[in-house]
Amino acid sequence: MTDREALTALQNSLDRPSAARVYDYLLGGTRNYAIDREFAEKVQSVLPIIGPAARTCRQFLGRAVRHCVASGITQFVDLGSGLPTEGNVHEVADAAAEGGITRVVYVDNEPVALAHSQVLLADTADPERHRAIGGDLLEARDVWRTVQDTGVIDPDRPVGLVINAVLHFIEDDREPAAALNFYRSRLAPGSMLVLSHVTTENPSDEAERRAMEDTEALYEGTTHPGLSRNAEELARFFGDWEIVEPGIVYAPAWHPDKHTLSKDRPARTRVLAGVGRKPGA
């Protein structure tokens, strides 16, 4: 069965909204289905900021990848990469570093997302430098072994490890901190960790608090129920790594540029973000 045939078979078996496909829809993508679009519209009617929040996550990803490249990092592992859409890591990295020197491995455990990524890379990317593999980021040892087996990433050189808009779908009892500890231990000095996470801390008023609670309840019916963490809880995922200035902040406040949405009211997005750097380089 070809990649495209496998993708068609997967599409025919969908019966619940997917957080990855809902995110794709909120970003204006086309790799989503009626069940995802209906769910996204329902969520937006309850919490209108969710669309701008999704775009904020994506914009932060681009700025963070460019920062990594400017810091000398030319290889990336994107865990929980989701569906390919505008501003994929390999596209941003290739544009930021001349000469086709960047390398990217995408990892996702959702079959539809993986199949789409493989089709995209087969059509538009360099198979020597860009790869999409299946894996659950919580199965850290297996994922890291598979990443190394691709031959794309040199473990002796710094890596940009990206986990963008993913951790808010992983409860603490599934031990995401242990997985992050493992990845950090395997990365070379000078590596960077890029994280973003939804928060419901300090709602602007009672109506927004109720809207966020209702949104969380809606996500219970998707493939990936969600949760909130605050800045202190997000900081723990960086371990003892140095947090790059300006620290853990609302995403639009992290090195904003002329394209950054909500930079005049960054807290309105309810998306926290930060980048950590492994010492010792």
Q: What is the pLDDT along the chain (281 residues), one digit of tens a residue?
A: 445 544 554 554 467 888 788 888 888 888 888 888 998 899 889 888 888 888 999 999 999 999 999 999 999 999 999 888 778 999 999 999 988 899 999 999 888 788 888 888 888 788 899 999 999 999 999 999 999 999 999 999 999 999 999 999 899 999 999 999 999 999 999 999 999 999 887 777 788 778 878 877 777 777 677 788 999 999 999 999 999 999 999 999 999 999 999 999 998 899 999 999 999 86
Element (H, E) at 133: strand 130-134
The answer to whether 272 touches 259, Cβ cutoff 8 Å, is no
Closest to 87 in 3D by CA, of 50, 136, 120: 120
> What residue spans of the chain are helical by DSSP H?
3-11, 19-26, 34-46, 50-70, 89-96, 111-124, 140-149, 176-186, 206-219, 231-235
Tokens of 269: 């997005």
Residues 6+ apart with CB under 8 A from 98: none
Phi, psi for residue 85 in degrees, rounded to 5: -150, -170
Whether the CB-CB separation of 186 and 217 falls below 8 Å is answered with no
Q: What is the pLDDT of residue 93?
A: 96
Of 210, 239, 212, nearest in space to 226 by CA? 212
Cis peptide before 246 (omega within 30 of 0): yes
Enter the pTM of the model. Answer: 0.89
pLDDT value at residue 14: 65
